[in-house]
Amino acid sequence: MRQPVALPTAARRQRYRCCFGRTGGAGPSYRGSMSHRTVIRIDGRDVATLADVLPESGCLKMLMVAKTPATDSVAAGHYFQGAQGRMLWNRLRDYGLLEVPAGTFEDDVLLNHGYGLTDIVKVPRDYGSEPDEDEYRAGINRILDLVREIKPQVLFFVYKRILDQILRLAFGRSTKARYGFNPELDELLGSAVFVFPMPGTPCTTAEARTAMSALVQTLK
């Protein structure tokens, strides 16, 4: 397996965790409850962002990797509160992969389902604003470190471009990922690699159904 290129050490181990309360059992252990909104220091300035949703210990069924928190979501204190972001939550609900009690935000119950959530870039952006390559590079090894530590059954990329950038910048691969599972990448990334068929992206309805049905079969 080709190893990823060496990236700046300072960026590799940054961790912004937010853990919600459920204890006991054989799964991850959880501690306390806190807001998702947090402030981190980057390049000498304070940046308001969203904390990672990760277990204090144990493994995950699925680690979701987003691109960057949306500014609207940071203002709300919860992930994926914009129009496109809500399509993610809706599709997970539609396929029975996420049950959310009334009056509860989706990211508040992720750990109860065995799911975690992080971003490859933690600096918020408006919809349509793309991180630059240096920002992607700074986040790649942090994501790969999380995979090695948490050992998720599924490594879920919210946007295909995130995975394509990782493959290109860290592994020198020019081939593009597919929507749904990419089993040829499992050994490379250390987990079953899945690209979410986000509504509005170049993914057909049939491809989206096939991808989501396969995810249900894997996680159920």
Banded model confidence at residue 34, pLDDT cuts 50, 70, 90 = low
Q: Where along the chain do its domains lie?
A: 9-219
- Token pair of 64 as six digits: 């979701």
> Of all helices (H) and strands (E), which one includes residue 118?
strand 115-119
> 9-219 sits in which CATH class?
alpha beta
Give the tens place of pLDDT for each residue, 117-135: 999 999 999 887 889 999 9
Cβ pair 80, 45 in contact under 8 A: no
- What is the β-pairing status of strands 115-119 and 154-157? unpaired
Longest dimension (CA), the chain: 47
Token pair 């096939």: residue: 210
Residue 129: predicted pLDDT: 83
Cα 144 from Cα 113, distance rounded (Å):
22
Residue 73: predicted pLDDT: 94
pLDDT at residue 175 greater than cutoff 70: yes
Q: Which alpha helices (H) appear in the chain, and where do they start and end? A: 9-12, 71-76, 83-94, 133-150, 160-171, 186-189, 205-219
Least confident range from 6-10, 31-35, 39-43, 199-203: namely: 6-10
- Report the side by side order of strands in the sheet with 62-66: 17-18, 52-53, 115-119, 62-66, 154-157, 192-195, 180-181
